[in-house]
Structure 1
Amino acid sequence: MQHSSEDLKNIESLLEFYIDAGVDCFLGDSPVDWTELSRRKAPVRQQPQASEVAHRTAPAEPPAHDRAAPVPTGLAPQPRTAQPAKPNNPAVIPDREVVASARDQAASAVSLEELRACLEAFDGCNLKLTAKKLVFADGNPAARLMFVGEAPGRDEDLQGKPFVGRSGQLLDRMLTAIGLDRSSAYIANVVPWRPPGNRTPTPQETEICKPFIRRQIELVNPDVIVFLGAASAKNLLGVQDGIRKMRGRWMKYPVSGRDIDAIATYHPAYLLRSPLEKRLSWRDFLSIQLKLEGT
């Protein structure tokens, strides 16, 4: 039986989902009693004689001069209860104090290097406990064009850079189509740590990380911001429209006393699943090219 290219893509996506979820083996159709299987494979031990068991288990009687005096009732030493080990980085409750702390730490950074150091030391977001690396940014901090996504994925978590997987490769090709590359743009995410299993960040996680991406935009101070997907645009622009209605429409992002031209377009991951929508993203990128040439 031959599979179409669409079927193969769906199978590949399903396998990637299973790998991200921690699945490392396939199960059969019939149940297996692993306890019974282990018992059968265990070596058979010869049962000892009753006299041997009694001899082994009976306590030896100490000499009379070595016997300790009886301990009075109530003074016998009590067994110590083992205390549970405390984790090095305990999870935090995402409350207003954590958001306020993130806002204060982000505002204290006067450079991108200091902002990155603040994020490295920040323990207010529980995503840091499960992520492998901080995914801060990639590209040219002095570029006039800045891309903002929602959160890193598996490949980004492994390399510590945003948009380096299949989505990033498509983004590179889209940049090349308008005569740009990563040295002509700066790329970041609203959430700098990968959520487990590539799930969507919770509103609390996004709210905690939002002060850092806002400060990151202030420090880069680009001429044009491109929001990749509806999530990043909704979180930073405050709009509620869906991406189909939002994309291709120029908006303003206020920062440091000026309004930055901003536009939302389809996320490259969505384009990989819906290649027919690339024609609309192509229009968006042509509009971005004209905006850069006119500013």
Structure 2
Amino acid sequence: MEGCNEYVYKQEINWSLLTEGITLPVENQVVFGRIMNRYLTKGEQKPIKIFLNGKSYDAKVVNVNFDKKFNRKTDVIQIRYPRNGDLARELQQIFASSYNFFSNARKIRPEGSRSIPKLPEDVKEYLAIYTTEYDDTYEFDTIGVTDIEAVKQDVAGKSEYLYEANYDIDMEDTTSTINEVQGVYKVRKLNRKIGDNLKLLYGYRCQICGQLIGEEYDSHVAEAHHIDYYVNSLNNDASNQMIVCPNHHRIIHDADPIFNRIGLKYVYKNGLEEPLRLNQHL
């Protein structure tokens, strides 16, 4: 069923998320965008349910109706929950180290300042949001520092191409603790779901050559590639993934070209330059 456990957003933990809500982009979130188009009109808000760690929490989803003078071309969706209410307190407990960091930063900031620093790179934590089979219900999945540490151990010494090719979120690991396995599973799931969303965004076409592989067989064969290799960067953001055909995926890992993010093109060691033919998210 479309809409069941599909990727909505990955949010780095910040003060707003820990206290009252999250702002979500819609333009590149395919399934979530379809749900919002049929569920919520501009300026409207509706109640929703959030599931986190087996518990249900009341919240609301809002299509923020900004003043026309801002000339916004896309909708802005917010998930809001009672300030420091049950859901907020649960998130504060799960992300206790992040909450303490932000609380202390607020105490020492200059009087009148509203700025709060971001979490240091080595202690960043994340919230992943997924759809369910119901338009008014969403799942929160937490990714903490210990989960990321487990992933670092999981990718250590592994080949990027083989790791991507075997990125099975259900693969067994008999050498890790239960918590480590759960942490790796959550990150693998997020990685896979972000890639799946991008495949939908591009209709399973390769962003480099534009080809749709397997159409004559009533099949779609497309792969998600990490621009900055995941085994080195641990970056599974959509901005670090592109959709490619199997041929281009293998060539990239064999030839190891440099991706020019300004020109949106691969530059190979023999001088060949290959620009993206399709791009909606980079």
Task: State TM-score, norm by structure 1.
Answer: 0.28
For normalisation by structure 2, the TM-score amounts to 0.29
Structure with the higher fraction of residues in helix conformation: 1
